[in-house]
Amino acid sequence: MADPKLGVYICSDCGIGGALDIEALENIAKNQYRVENVQSVPFLCSQEGTQMIKDEINNQGVNKIVIAACSPRVHYDEFDFDPSKYVTERVNLREHVVWSQMGGAEEAPEAAAEAPAAAAAAAAPVEAEPAAPAVNEFTQEMAEDHLRMGIVRAQKSEPPEPAIMDVEKTVLVIGGGATGLNTALESAKAGYKVILTEKEAELGGWARKMYKILPDKAPFEDVKAPNIDEKIAAVQAHENITVLTGANIDRIEGMPGQYDATISQNGSANTHRIGSVVLAIGWKPYDAKKLDNLGYGEFKNVVTNVEMESMAVAGSGSIARPSDGKQAKRVAFLQCAGQRDPEHLPYCSSVCCMTSLKQALYVTESDADANAFIIYKDMRTPGLYENFYKAAQNNPGVMLTKGEVTSITEDGTGNIVLEIDNTILGEKVRVEADMLVLATGMVTNMLPEGVEKVTDMTPEYIGQWKETETQDGIIKEVIADPVALNLAYRQGPELPYLKYGFPDSHFVCFPYETRRTGIYTAGAVRAPMTALQSANDGVGAALKAIQSVELAAQGKAVHPRSGDESFPEINFTNCTQCRRCTVECPFGVLDEEENGTPKTNTSRCRRCGTCMGACPQRIISFKNYSVGMIADQMKAIKVPEEDSKPRIIALICENDAYPALDIAGLNRIKTNPFYRFITMRCLGGTNLVWIADALSAGIEGFLLIGCRFDDDYQCHFIKGSKAANERLGKVQETLSRLMLESERVQQVQLAMNEWDQLPKIMNDFADQLKEFGPNPFKGF
Amino acid sequence: MADKVLIVGGGISGISAAVEAAEAGLEAVIIEKNPYLGGRVAQLHKYFPKLCPPYCGLEINFKRIKQNPMISFYTLAEVTNISGSEGDYNVTVRVNPRYVNEKCTACNDCVEQCGASRPNEFNYGMDSTRAVYLPHEMSFPLRHVVDKSACDAGCQKCVEACKYGAIDMSMEPQTVEVNASSIVFATGWNPYDASKIENINFATSQNVITNVMMERLAAPNGPTKGKLLRPSDGKEVKNVAFVQCAGSRDENNLDYCSAICCMASLKQATYIRDSYPEDSKATIFYIDLRAAGKYEDFLQRLQADENVTMTKGKVAKIEEAASGDVTVTVEDILGGGKIEATFDMVVLAAGMEPAAKGANIPASLTYEANGFIDADNLPAGISACGVARRPDDVSASVQDATGAALRALQSRAGVNKPLEAAEMSGGN
């Protein structure tokens, strides 16, 4: 950019002017930082206010704009100056400083409440003009430090230059079942080219092996003939779609917009340039041989629901039982055959209730005297599928009961006898059936061959532990067994799984989130779902695949920092090949040269800065976010010598902690005035070097306020807040070298709606620091 | 002709459709009838099964809207006319007056001066706001609004209190014309009116509340600041019954299963257990516990809590005594006979009704029997997503909304539409 020229614009409205000595703030900008363009006006967000800033930009060459006013979450359009030309830094004086220092003492626990009051009395504004309003010294100092930090951040920041790249927009869809077919077709209809691969010789997947399919249109009452052939025909006829059957993915390397996929077919392999990937490889049935006491494998007339479907296809609806080929007229269905069972599949397979209702119709429709008897735990036909259940309830040939099967035996004729307890028909029921169908569940096809249990797998990836020796110690990690994608990624060939092998999103609000940008999952590979739900799922996945390429073309990030044009740059000369960045990146962005030097893949990057936090050499930086920048912000904090004025740094996550502090301010909830907030893209960016630096400069302690981690993690960057926490585990060494208490650095997990807990959290930590006594480095 | 998608409804589905479409390169405009975006999820305390706050995802989505010049929105707005066809729809939007302009800084000075009040629909009427109010802390845009119908005649107190000149009582409804290549209906749902259900005395029992009200009771910005206190006398609620299928799966009320209520009640049971861990009890009366997929884990977690009881039973009667305690009579499906039990409070797991039903949407939409938009039978360039088309949870609605964004891309000018593909358009 042109020669940097700062402008500092301070708003004196919304209570800011009443609570703060604005002139003193101006003087900090003018005198300490030599800023020429410093203005303080009331109502800065007014047209006059913003015009004044624009005039200074246009006429005086201001290109780094510091707005000391309200939260950027409130007035954003007013201060939206072209980010490709200007740096805009918002200092949140209103919510984070003034409004959070206004609340009554009753809002805050004693410790913090008494301190400012006493200090305010002691520090009567003797030097101020007589007419000036009473300014709380602590609030003023807080504002001054935040202004200093904002100015420093603006000084160190440059407008990002997007990594614009040439992209190929073709979507690779892996899997030609109901999900993949629809993904391909809908992508093609939006004008995108598609390569659809299927490992079998024919398209259609499970949908093609069905005798009838579940209702897929309102009123959701009747089964219908499979219609997958229509979809296959549409896919095959579409000029945007290339279908490769009998095909396997040997290797995918590159990044969104620039992937090279090597696909083998009939013994020969070809490499295709593609933009993004939808993984739609579906499911496989749980192995019924593993089920104890249900008679499978022991009695001929105990079959699975998948076998039942084939039998229906073979008999055109008439079911010939395996033992003697006799038509099965009394068929029992046992639901949750393995599902909802911690020993087998702890989850519910979502579709089996409806599958059994459908198959019960095969039995009753082929013969007026035939009966189906369904034994369930809970009948799960959610939403409009309830109509299908009701239709079955109205079918005189279908009997349904909740119950627990206590024994399954075979009489001499091949009939299956079930003893059922706790039914709605009475205490104990005995059912004699020609045949028993076990409603077995669905397992994701991401489960490698030979993996027996979905509950006992290596963490994150289904694969093998690997140890790498570096000069900084041994890195222990799991590398996935190759199954479907064969990614040439440093973190392994497959997507991490969430639970039970399903590579699903952990986010309620962002169901397509994966940890490999540009690669999305759809259908039963990611969660048990019906063919209808799978096909629908493919439509959304297609959008995400298209979107990732469109954003890559512009050098922009995808969710959650959508549109961000900054990206990490690495100063390789100082790299020690410690591999921390390549291991810790939650999205597997960085690959590795053989010696361990990281290789960037910009369009895979989510811009969270976890790599920046991980790097002990401080060589990973964004144009507008770096270790040095934040270190300088910390140095800008004025540390008074008085012990009554401790200084505590809070690193706050911009996604949740920042808005929680805003809402606390909006509610005028009083918080501790000794904190200085530094906004992080994610706590994952926390670099340990800051802690040693700041503590040796007299800062009393560090509080990291970020998102929940572990099982129910809320971190938008998956592992960022956890990575920070793990790093803090290592800070002990640094602190003991400084002869400081390790508890001076702590992390709290805060959800956004816990703003009311902030005063207590902040005061508790401040109290703890007080007990340790002042930081001995203070004043040095 | 504009390559633009117009989205009717600014709840989680509509917002998601907008950001997903815009990030894929399509302009998006959201039409929302409330004074804020966020819809029903903004009124939820936590999501199942993670027990995370909906505000967290809304924050990210609002950020995506703020940074993206491709997205615009109108609040307090409704669609009054639609004409045209795929690629060239003309939509007339009526924007009702907010009486507060963009100069508002959300400083709240106006509220302090206002003497008039109105029932707070954000908290389902459990408390009130002033006539000028901020809808809630996460309101986006974060701007006050005046409910003129609640104002004292001729009162100018808020106008005078606002030093920024942000309050303008002379605002009139505006009409906006939007040209769009496609339209997405993300009109969402309303809680079923529980007073229609026989024998449960919802309308006359203060301590019989609905599940959506329970969300507000538990929320830190709700009528009780997140303390679980019962409406009639402020007593701590420690013994709570949840009545499942309150309206749903009932031919006299809602024919269908509302898909979310089992998980919602399980989630709300944690509100009670977490608020009073020592001595609280939750009892759930259900027909079937529907916790599909990995939601099963959440059910198991609750089943492991001995203070949470789940009984398969159909609730026949609910009566509130003078003391405020509520007695529930249940037909015990497994044991036979009747159960009668008394609780501090009863939460009705009331179902979801499509908001489009009876809303006189000015478009030739097809509805299935319950009033959900039949996405399989819509004109080209029009789609529906989320609960507008079927009862479903947040995650599935967002998934659906993302699909709607793709359909919007398909309606862009210049997209080649082979005949066989065009014939298969519409929902799946």
Instruction: Please report the DSSP string for A118-136 in residue order.
Output: HHHHHT--SSS-TTSPP--
Mean pLDDT value across chain B: 95
Considering the domain architecture, whether residues B222 and B81 belong to the same structural domain is answered as no
- Per-residue pLDDT, averaged over A277-290, amounts to 97
State how beta strands B27-31 and B71-74 pair: parallel
| Residue of A100, A343, A509 best to disrupt the B interface, most CBs of B under 10 A | A509
- For B376-412, letters b (16+ CB in 10 Å) and e give bebbbbbbbbbbbbbbbbbbbbbbbbbbbbbbbbbbb
B28: part of which helix (H) or strand (E)? strand B27-31
Q: Is the model's pLDDT at A114 over the cut of 50? A: no
Task: Report the SS3 class of residue B72.
Answer: strand
Q: How far is CA B10 from CA B59, B78, B96, in A?
A: 14, 11, 16
A284: part of which helix (H) or strand (E)? strand A283-285
Lowest-confidence segment of A44-58, A723-737, B202-216 by average pLDDT: A723-737
| pLDDT 10s digits, A40-65 | 999 999 999 999 999 999 999 999 99
| pLDDT 10s digits, B118-159 | 999 999 999 999 999 999 999 999 999 999 999 999 999 999
Instruction: Please report the DSSP string for A387-420 in residue order.
Output: HHHHHHHT-TTEEEEE-EEEEEEE-TTS-EEEEE
Q: How many domains does chain B have?
A: 2
HSE-CB at A252 with a 13 A cutoff on CA atoms is 30
Report which of A150, A240, A136 is spatially closest to residue A196, judged by C-alpha positions: A240
Q: Is A224 exposed, middle or buried (0-12, 13-18, 19+ CB in 10 A)?
A: exposed
Phi, psi of B284 (to 5 degrees): -115, 120
Q: How far is the C-alpha of B178 from the C-alpha of B66, rounded, in Å?
A: 20
pLDDT at position A133, please? 56
- Per-residue pLDDT, averaged over A246-263, amounts to 98
State how beta strands B174-180 and B88-95 pair: antiparallel
pLDDT at position B1, please? 59
- A 523-562 residues inside an 8 A Cβ radius of B: 527-529, 532-533, 535-537, 539-544, 546-547, 550-551, 558-560, 562
Q: How far is the C-alpha of A179 from the C-alpha of A196, rounded, in Å?
A: 11
Q: How far is the C-alpha of A172 from the C-alpha of A259, rounded, in Å?
A: 10
CB-CB neighbors (< 8 A) of B428 in chain A: 182, 216, 532, 535-536, 539
Q: In DSSP terms, which residues pair with A704 in a beta bridge?
A: A651, A747
Q: Would you say residue B122 lies in a domain?
A: no
Quick one: pLDDT band at residue A121, thresholds 50, 70, 90? very low
Quick one: pLDDT band at residue A315, thresholds 50, 70, 90? very high
CB-CB neighbors (< 8 A) of B416 in chain A: 191, 239-240
pLDDT at position B195, please? 97
CB-CB neighbors (< 8 A) of A534 in chain B: none
Q: How far is the C-alpha of A98 from the C-alpha of A110, rounded, in Å?
A: 20
State how beta strands A416-423 and B71-74 pair: unpaired
Cβ of A348 within 8 Å of Cβ of B292? The answer is: yes
Q: How far is the C-alpha of B158 from the C-alpha of B155, rounded, in Å?
A: 8
| pLDDT 10s digits, B175-198 | 999 999 999 999 999 999 999 999
Whether a cis peptide bond, with omega within 30° of 0, leads into A560 is: yes
Q: Is the model's pLDDT at A421 over the cut of 80? A: yes
Q: Would you say residue B295 lies in a domain?
A: yes
Considering the domain architecture, whether residues B182 and B270 belong to the same structural domain is answered as no
Point out the domain boundary residue: B307, B322, B351. B351
* Cβ–Cβ < 8 Å for A645, A144: no
Q: How far is the C-alpha of B7 from the C-alpha of B183, rounded, in Å?
A: 6
Copy the structure tokens of residue B139: 């309101």
pLDDT at position A125, please? 44
Considering the domain architecture, whether residues B91 and B233 belong to the same structural domain is answered as no
| pLDDT 10s digits, A584-603 | 999 999 999 988 899 999 99
* Cβ–Cβ < 8 Å for A424, A402: yes
Mean pLDDT value across chain A: 94
Of the two residues A257 and A426, the one the predictor is more confident about is A257
Q: What is the torsional sign of CA A546, A551, A554, A555?
A: negative
Q: How far is the C-alpha of B79 from the C-alpha of B10, rounded, in Å?
A: 13
Asked if A606 is an interface residue toward chain B (Cβ–Cβ < 8 A), one would say no
Asked if A655 is an interface residue toward chain B (Cβ–Cβ < 8 A), one would say yes
Asked if B276 is an interface residue toward chain A (Cβ–Cβ < 8 A), one would say no
- A 167-186 residues inside an 8 A Cβ radius of B: 182, 185-186
Considering the domain architecture, whether residues B337 and B403 belong to the same structural domain is answered as no
Which of B390, B399, B417 lies at the smallest CB-CB distance from A384? B390
- Per-residue pLDDT, averaged over B313-318, amounts to 95
DSSP A679: E
CB-CB neighbors (< 8 A) of A550 in chain B: 23-25
Considering the domain architecture, whether residues B265 and B321 belong to the same structural domain is answered as yes
Copy the structure tokens of residue A258: 């620039």
- Order of strands across the sheet that contains B239-246: B208-210, B345-350, B239-246, B281-286, B308-320, B326-332, B338-343
Q: Would you say residue B343 lies in a domain?
A: yes
Alpha helices in B24-97 (DSSP H): 54-67
Copy the structure tokens of residue A210: 């069905």
Residue appearing with tokens 């100069």: B103
Q: Would you say residue B330 lies in a domain?
A: yes
Copy the structure tokens of residue B255: 């024919």
Which of B45, B369, B418 lies at the smallest CB-CB distance from A238? B418
CB-CB neighbors (< 8 A) of A77 in chain B: 66
Output the domain CATH number for residue B388: 3.50.50.60
Copy the structure tokens of residue B232: 């009639």
Q: How many CB atoms lie within 10 A of CB A735?
A: 17
Considering the domain architecture, whether residues B273 and B322 belong to the same structural domain is answered as yes
Considering the domain architecture, whether residues B320 and B251 belong to the same structural domain is answered as yes
CB-CB neighbors (< 8 A) of B401 in chain A: 540
pLDDT at position A103, please? 63
A245: part of which helix (H) or strand (E)? strand A241-245
CB-CB neighbors (< 8 A) of B288 in chain A: 378-380
Q: How far is the C-alpha of B305 from the C-alpha of B303, rounded, in Å?
A: 5
Cβ of B421 within 8 Å of Cβ of A191? The answer is: no
DSSP B152: P
Asked if the ipTM is above 0.90, the reply is yes
Task: Report the SS3 class of residue B301.
Answer: helix
Polymer length of chain A: 780
Considering the domain architecture, whether residues B242 and B320 belong to the same structural domain is answered as yes
Copy the structure tokens of residue A55: 């005039």
Helices (H) and strands (E) in chain A, counts: 18, 32
pLDDT at position A624, please? 97
Q: How far is the C-alpha of A659 from the C-alpha of A321, rounded, in Å?
A: 63
pLDDT at position B427, please? 35
* Cβ–Cβ < 8 Å for A171, A194: yes
Asked if A348 is an interface residue toward chain B (Cβ–Cβ < 8 A), one would say yes
Cβ of B105 within 8 Å of Cβ of A13? The answer is: yes
Point out the domain boundary residue: B351, B372, B403. B351
Considering the domain architecture, whether residues B295 and B383 belong to the same structural domain is answered as no
Shortest Cα distance from B40 to chain A (angstroms)?
Answer: 13
| pLDDT 10s digits, A205-242 | 999 999 999 999 999 999 999 999 999 999 999 999 99
Considering the domain architecture, whether residues B201 and B283 belong to the same structural domain is answered as yes
Q: How far is the C-alpha of A755 from the C-alpha of A761, rounded, in Å?
A: 10
Q: How far is CA B388 from CA A462, B14, B72, B256, B383, in A?
A: 39, 10, 21, 14, 10
- B 297-316 residues inside an 8 A Cβ radius of A: 297, 300, 312
Domain that holds residue B64: 4-96+173-188+355-422
Residue appearing with tokens 């399919």: A213
- Per-residue pLDDT, averaged over B288-303, amounts to 97
Report which of B187, B196, B189, B191 is spatially closest to residue B214, judged by C-alpha positions: B191
- B 334-363 residues inside an 8 A Cβ radius of A: 334
Q: Would you say residue B302 lies in a domain?
A: yes
Q: Would you say residue B208 lies in a domain?
A: yes
- Order of strands across the sheet that contains A426-433: A404-410, A416-423, A426-433
pLDDT at position A129, please? 45
Report which of B366, B368, B400 is spatially closest to residue B7, judged by C-alpha positions: B400
| pLDDT 10s digits, B365-387 | 999 999 999 999 999 999 999 99
Q: Rounded to 5 degrees, what angle do the CA atoms A533, B15, A528 make?
A: 20
pLDDT at position B416, please? 58
Q: Is the model's pLDDT at A561 over the cut of 50? A: yes
What angle do the packed helices A352-366 and A386-393 form, to 10 degrees? 30
Considering the domain architecture, whether residues B415 and B391 belong to the same structural domain is answered as yes
pLDDT at position A104, please? 54
Terminal Cα-to-Cα distance of chain A (whole angstroms): 38
Q: How far is the C-alpha of B157 from the C-alpha of B135, rounded, in Å?
A: 19
| Residue of B58, B101, B257, B274 best to disrupt the A interface, most CBs of A under 10 A | B257
Report which of B141, B148, B48 is spatially closest to residue B96, judged by C-alpha positions: B148
* Cβ–Cβ < 8 Å for B238, B276: yes
Please state the pTM of the whole predicted model: 0.95
Which of A185, A234, A347 lies at the smallest CB-CB distance from B296? A347
Q: Would you say residue B121 lies in a domain?
A: no
Point out the domain boundary residue: B351, B375, B395. B351
- A 44-83 residues inside an 8 A Cβ radius of B: 45-46, 70, 73-77
Report percent pLDDT > 90 for chain A: 89
Considering the domain architecture, whether residues B294 and B399 belong to the same structural domain is answered as no
B133: part of which helix (H) or strand (E)? strand B132-133
CB-CB neighbors (< 8 A) of B376 in chain A: 217-218
Q: Is the model's pLDDT at A678 over the cut of 90? A: yes
Q: How many CB atoms lie within 10 A of CB B372?
A: 24
Q: Catalogue all structural domains in chain A, each as residue range(s) with its CATH number.
A: 1-159 (3.40.50), 171-282+445-553 (3.50.50.60), 285-442 (3.50.50.60), 569-614 (3.30.70.20), 625-780 (3.40.50)
CB-CB neighbors (< 8 A) of A540 in chain B: 20, 399-403, 405-406
Q: How many CB atoms lie within 10 A of CB A456?
A: 7
Residues 6+ apart with CB under 8 A from B418: A237, A238, A239
Report which of A239, A230, A187 is spatially closest to residue A543, judged by C-alpha positions: A187
* Cβ–Cβ < 8 Å for B262, A380: no
Q: How far is the C-alpha of B314 from the C-alpha of A44, rounded, in Å?
A: 61
CA A220 from chain centre, in angstroms, equals 33
